[in-house]
Structure 1
């Protein structure tokens, strides 16, 4: 029904008020009475307009709502091809699955992608259910999942993903849990597990023994395990560990990447599992001693990316000097000691030449002809690295070098700069203040002599080869307390980017992964 309104004419003010409107004069009694009467007449007409205005505002709101409703018909996402929409859905699912802190994913799972997608509309449901890859990411937080509903959801994941390989992440912090129906439901499809991330306590981890030798599709394995004292485990929980359990991953014909950390109380441990080391191309894991590291390195004939962390050792104990392990495919190597205490720091080994005597290192037993990136945290000194480069012949392939050691000499750093012509990243950590000893603005020049020598050496080697070179260098000195960033910025025109710092970045290897 149309809305019609009759609006009365605007009341005209009395002629006596016109001079007062145009002036600042005070009205007399008659003029005041006329003014009040005119205002009352205006307000009465305003009251008459209130009802039609309310109706008009309501009609305006209805029209705006209808405009928005019909504007959705023209929304570009309606014209989006199914394959593009499917690709967008995949980002939503991956953002749910890949996260930094496992506690950030809040229950219930049914409110997260991909479960929420089919509930939007029929078209989205058809596309989501037809895109099997959306259902191949299986995240199971057993601390939060109730067994009844979650088993049904896991079964639906397996059904909707059809026979595609699965990426599985399973998490449980509870020590007393020995079995879980959700885990058993997932293990029923273990042949489809391709990328796996496991964080389980040992009693529940033992369930994997039931699927030993069935990891036929496994390519990437990430796991963290607190290897409890087995005697205490058996006494406290009345739980027996079958020795064959440690062979759970022994047969995994496609496994090429392993990221694993093992510990007991405060100590890092080597893998208690039998693993197909010779297959691995990427490895990140823990050990107790450097001797254990060497035993595994001998088996890594196909390794390309290797990151190893082991507990503190006696720096005076040298590895077997007669053993040389050649790793022909190794491109990236990181060696790190977990903790450094004053008692474990290397003794002063300065020689008469002013250079430190070489420290024993497991690098002395390696040959890495294809090495492109080397990072050492308290596991080698500059002389050891130079010897590795000369022995391996990798001076033309090495591009990134990060050296952190308390036994460092300025000339050794300059030797590295001279003998490794293709360096693009150099990170030198001198934790004992050897490079810039006692450097303060009152006792030393603004730019320390070592930096001047470093710059001169860079300029001399950068012109070799006839091509433009760039080097990003970070030099850490515990005595550094002067900001010379503006002066160092002037070197950038030569392709040299130097950063001086008093704090080194210690990378916790056991949080690393290949995901």
Structure 2
């Protein structure tokens, strides 16, 4: 269909001759000439308004056509070409991220429920992908979740379940109803997360209900974050014994504000099955005892409050499969160092022949690290090293990195008490200068060495008092920072971010860890 728009426009007004003459000069207009100029401009603006009004239907029609084009372009969208199964996998990644980021209630405002309201195809994909509905959140603050939970269980069919129980203050009947439904299907649990903010007589009833679990044949990951029940409640042993019959359990994350729960965990707990552990402990002695129960561990992160004198006759623990080790003193007040002696580092009693990533936080010095590497013969496998300590021995660090670890690609050295960097204004750090010189010399002798990213942090350094420098060449990237980081097993889950420098010559930025 063809649309015809017809309108007539008057001829543009002709300016008076005296205004044309005035325009071609730089003379000051008289009051009469000023009024004539304003009158002429008003007439021109009137015609512009007339044109705008005349073309308004055309602009409206153009906007309608553009919107129609945009609407029909959706037919050609590449997302329509994605097969049903791949779209389901994309949806699953979204649901997984949503589930682990503690979404705001109600849950129906988030994935996977949202996918059912976009289009018929998306709804069909969401309803036809059972694992999207396998992540069940039990939250005391959300009433009416029983029918939603039952609907999720029906849509998840028989796939393994990921169950997260958040319990904060009170014992609510609707939580009990949902929990009873899930307990009847405990043989389908793949991941169980229990987070209890504070323990009381009512919250203990929740834990007692959990002891009614009949089977955990599919459980692989256990996450526990809770206060410790009363020692006399008799609940500890019953609680831990639940998981003694979990034949597939390989991952444990146990964070206790009071560590007595882990100490009283029965020996029947399947420690030998675990390949991934993140937990808190009372001291380095308890951490060493725990490591002795983990012969098949691959990733281990332990935070403890006290450094005690370890017996020189403690047995050496062989961990043949360990790839990642994080050992951290959690007490940042300094009290944990009272009983610390240099020769009693926990590292002195470990053998880790396949270690790839090591993080130590106030629990060892340079000699302890070198001893571990030499004794375990893991110099060829270690690629990431984060070293948090007071009073850094710069020469030993240089020797360790440049001579002992040929395949290191990521190094972080953080000195909490200061001394790593100079205090002279605008002076280039001597440690950086020597590091660069020796690195360049080493590269000349062995040019096949991999690139190394280095982050140096001086906890007592003030911005602007020295030159915060950045060095970069083809194989070495060094950034000097004054932003300290106090990691915590409980607070930030050890979510370290690789200190990669995004560009060849980067500017100083805040630590992103």
Q: Report the TM-score when normalising by structure 1.
A: 0.76
Report what 2:414 is aligned to: 429
Partner of 1:507: 487
Which secondary structure does the structure 2 equivalent of 1:185 belong to?
Answer: helix
> Which residue in the other structure is 1:354 paired with?
none
Alignment of 1:276 onto 2:270: yes
Residue 359 of structure 1, CA deviation? 3.4
1:471 aligns with one of 442, 452, 455 = 452
Any residues of structure 2 matched to 1:188-207 within 5 Å, and which?
Answer: 188-200=184-196, 202=199, 203=203, 204-207=206-209
Selected match of 1:378 from 342, 362, 367: 362
1:274-423 to 2 correspondences below 5 Å:
274=266, 275-314=269-308, 317-345=309-337, 358-417=342-401, 418-423=403-408
Quote the offset at 1:379 in angstroms. 0.8
Structure number with greater Rg is: 1
The offset of 1:485, in angstroms, is 4.4
* Structure 1 position 309, deviation (Å): 0.7
Are residue 128 (structure 1) and residue 126 (structure 2) matched?
yes
CA deviation profile, 1:363-393 (whole Å, cap 9, x unmatched): 1111111112211111111111111122212
Match of 2:370, SS state, is helix
- Could you tell which deviates more after superposition, 379-388 or 460-469? 460-469
| Cα distance per residue 1:244-291 (max 9 Å; x no partner) | 233111111111111110123xx6863644431111111111111222
1-structure distance, mates of 2:91, 2:320: 42
Does structure 1 residue 185 correspond to structure 2 residue 181?
yes
Distance (whole Å) between structure 2 residues aligned to residue 200 and residue 345 of structure 1: 31
Task: Find the aligned partners of 1:388 and 1:88 in 2 and give their Cα distance.
Answer: 43
Q: Please tell me the root mean square deviation across aligned C-alpha atoms, in Å.
A: 4.0
Match of residue 163 from structure 1: 158
Q: What's the TM-score, normalizing by structure 2?
A: 0.77
- Deviation of 1:513 after TM superposition, in Å, equals 7.2
Alignment of 1:440 with 2:395, yes or no, is no
Q: Partner of 2:23 in structure 1?
A: none
Q: Is the 8 A contact 1:366 1:388 kept in 2?
A: yes
Q: Return the alpha-carbon distance in structure 1 between the equivalents of residues 494 and 416 of structure 2.
A: 27
Shift of 1:333: 0.8
In structure 2, the residue matched to 1:96 is 98
* Residues 300-330 of structure 1 deviation map (CA, whole Å, 9 limit, x = unaligned): 110111111111234xx22353411111111
Q: Please say if 1:216 is aligned against 2:204.
A: no
Structure 1 residues 93-131: Cα deviation after superposition (integer angstroms, max 9, x where no partner)? 2342232xx2xx222222322223233443333222212
Aligned residue pair count: 462
What are the Cα deviations for residues 168-225 of structure 1, in whole angstroms up to 9, with x where unaligned? 222221244585212222222221111232213552233210105x111111222211
Q: Distance in 1 between matches of 2:121 and 2:72?
A: 18
In the alignment, the residues of structure 2 paired with residue 54 and residue 384 of structure 1 have an alpha-carbon distance, to the nearest angstrom, of: 80
Structure 2 residue runs of 5 or longer lacking an equivalent are 21-29, 31-35, 496-513
Q: Note the residue ranges of structure 1 that are not aligned, 5 or more in a row.
A: 27-31, 235-239, 350-357
Q: Is the 8 A contact 1:221 1:258 kept in 2?
A: yes
Asked if the contact 2:285–2:310 (Cα under 8 Å) also holds between the matched residues in 1, the reply is no
Asked whether the equivalents of residues 257 and 283 of structure 1 are also in contact (C-alpha less than 8 Å), the reply is: yes
SS in 2 for 1:398: coil
Cα distance in 2 for residues equivalent to 1:479 and 1:10: 77
- Name the counterpart of 1:237: none
